């Protein structure tokens, strides 16, 4: 398929809206900080900033390189962020789903947050340089399956017209179908090769909004449930545990896969679990706060065809 450019002309306007609104809420004392994106040294690069003053709020922006899910900074695992007042945060649709999940898990209170939603045409894949133009070949695979280009329920959403979205190959759906068609032994061989690359840097865990445990199961050694050594046995156990702990909670921001320095397709596991939970329990993450996720609730009619 030929690569087609994706219209990102609205991002300049969005940047201006975000700056103006952030300055307003900071100056009026409505929030103590705004978590957003600012430009980095490298051409086109973007990094998260926690803007507490007008100088840093003036640097806020949004572009196709605004890949991070900033909701991670609001969790209790990130103790560095001030929690003493209301916080503003810039969110894409996928990020908002994660934040909604955190509210559902009683990790955050809606009234402590000022949500700045971003109408989003998509962001870049992790494999390309941040200065690359957004196109069907360079866009993050998650954006091709996105149904949340326009966040709802926010306190402020820039008033821009979102261009129509282009449809493309659904990479995850295709890859999951390919793997499902293999034999168990072939799938095992596939994941074995992928997991053997893992170096246990835990970037996947550290960027995940839902990995907010005070002490991860995998950091515990009494008893040790998962071998900490970065070799195939411990790596496989870690990734199975990670996928299972996120099942029914993962909102699909795909940060785990984006940050993996070894290019392990981690979001495939999350998407597979999301697909199964949709089929089994008709659950999908969205913009509505649910008190209980699919694995924290039940009905007496649940499928038990697999139980003797």
Partner 1 sequence: MKPSSVKYDFEPKIIAFVCTWCTYAGADLAGTSRMQYPSNVRVLKFPCTGRIDPVFILKAFQQGADGVLVSGCHPGDCHYIAGNFHARRRFAAFRKLLEFIGVDLNRLQFSWVSAAEGGKWVEVVTDLTERVREMGPMVEFKELALEEQWSGAINTPELKETYNAI
Partner 2 sequence: MRKYISRQNLNTLIDKLIAEGRRIVAPRMTAGTPLYEPLGHSGEMIIDQLPRRSAKEAFFPLCEEIMSYEKSGQQVKLTDVDPSRFPETILFAVRPCDAAAIPVLDAVFSWDYKDEFFLERRRKTTVVGLACTTADDACFCTAVGLSPSDTKGSDLFLSPLEGGGYNVESFTEKGEALINSCSDLFAEESNAAYIQLANPQTEAFDLKKVKSWLDEHFEDQLWDGIATRCVGCGACAFVCPACHCFDIVDEGTEKAGKRRKNWDACGFWKFTHHASGHNPRDLQPKRYRNRIMHKFKYYDDKFGQTLCTGCGRCVRICPVGIDIAAIVEEINQK
Strands 113-117 and 87-91: parallel
Among 68, 75, 236, 267, binds partner 1 (CB under 8 A): 236
Q: Which of 52, 173, 243, 289 binds partner 1 (CB under 8 A)?
A: 243
62 near partner 1, judged by CB under 8 A? no
Rounded Cα gap, residues 78 and 214, in angstroms: 10
Nearest to 154 by CA among 68, 93, 71: 93
Piece in contact with partner 1 (CB under 8 A), picked from 28-36, 116-124, 125-133, 237-245: 237-245
Q: Which of 81, 150, 217, 262 is in the footprint of partner 1 by CB under 8 A?
A: 217
Is the Cβ–Cβ distance between 90 and 70 less than 8 Å? Answer: yes
Shortest distance, CB of residue 262 to partner 2, whole angstroms? 6
Instruction: Return the range that interacts with partner 1 (CB under 8 A); candidates 30-38, 53-61, 119-127, 267-275.
Output: 267-275
Q: Which is nearer to partner 1, 3 or 228 (CB)?
A: 228
247 binds partner 1 (CB under 8 A): yes
Residues 88-127: x/- map of binding to partner 1 (CB under 8 A)? ----------------------------------------
What are 27-31's contacts with CB under 8 Å, separation 24+?
27/54, 30/86, 30/88, 30/114, 31/85, 31/86, 31/87, 31/88, 31/114
Decide whether 50 or 273 has the Cβ nearer to partner 1: 273
CB of 278 to partner 2, least distance (A): 28
What whole-number distance in Å separates Cα of residue 66 and Cα of residue 18? 13
In the region spanning residues 17 to 56, those forming contacts with partner 2, defined by CB under 8 A, are 40-43, 45-50
Q: Phi, psi (5° rounding) for residue 21?
A: -65, -40
> Per CB under 8 A, which of residues 242..271 are in contact with partner 2?
255, 258-259, 261-263
Indicate the residue among 12 and 233 with the shorter CB distance to partner 1. Answer: 233
- When the beta carbons of 50 and 115 are compared against partner 2, the nearer one is 50
CA dihedral over 219, 224, 228, 231, signed as positive or negative: negative
Residue 168 has, within 13 A of its CA and on its CB side, a CA count of 24
Nearer to partner 1 (CB atom), residue 20 or residue 276: 276
Q: Is 129 in the site for partner 2 (CB under 8 A)?
A: yes
Query: Would you count residue 173 as binding partner 1 (CB under 8 A)?
Result: no
Q: Which is closer to partner 1, CB of 108 or CB of 246?
A: 246
Indicate the SS3 state at residue 36. strand
Q: Tell whether the torsion through CA atoms of 89, 92, 96 and 99 is positive or negative.
A: negative
Task: Rule CB under 8 A: say whether 295 interacts with partner 1.
Answer: yes
Q: Where are the alpha helices (DSSP H) in 134-263?
A: 141-144, 171-180, 184-196, 203-206, 232-246, 255-259
């Amino acid at each position: 398929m030929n690569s087609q450019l994706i219209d990102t002309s609205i991002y300049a306007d969005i940047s201006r809206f975000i700056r103006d609104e952030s300055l307003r809420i900071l100056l009026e004392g409505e929030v103590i900080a705004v978590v957003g994106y600012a430009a980095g040294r490298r051409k086109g690069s973007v990094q998260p900033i926690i803007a507490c003053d007008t100088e840093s709020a003036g640097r806020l922006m949004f572009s196709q390189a605004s890949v991070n899910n900033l909701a991670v900074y609001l969790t209790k695992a990130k103790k560095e962020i001030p929690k003493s007042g209301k916080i503003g945060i810039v969110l894409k649709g996928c990020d908002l789903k994660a934040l909604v999940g955190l509210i559902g898990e009683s990790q955050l209170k809606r009234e402590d947050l000022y949500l700045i939603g971003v109408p989003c045409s998509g962001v870049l894949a992790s494999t390309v340089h941040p200065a690359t133009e957004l196109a069907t070949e360079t866009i993050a695979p998650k954006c091709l399956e996105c149904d949340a280009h326009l966040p709802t329920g926010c306190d402020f959403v820039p008033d821009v017209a979102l261009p129509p979205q282009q449809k493309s190959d659904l990479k995850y759906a295709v890859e999951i179908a390919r793997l499902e068609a293999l034999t168990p032994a072939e799938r095992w061989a596939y994941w074995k090769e992928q997991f053997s690359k893992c170096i246990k840097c835990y970037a996947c865990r550290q960027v995940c909004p839902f990995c907010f445990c005070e002490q991860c199961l995998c950091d515990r050694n009494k008893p040790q449930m998962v071998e900490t050594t970065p070799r195939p046995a411990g790596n496989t156990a870690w990734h199975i545990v990670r996928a299972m702990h996120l099942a029914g909670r993962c909102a699909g921001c795909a940060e785990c896969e984006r940050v993996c320095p070894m290019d392990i397709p981690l979001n495939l596991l999350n998407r597979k679990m999301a697909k199964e939970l949709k089929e089994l329990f008709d659950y999908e993450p969205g913009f509505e706060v649910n008190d209980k996720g699919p694995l924290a609730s039940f009905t007496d009619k649940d499928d038990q065809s697999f139980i003797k």
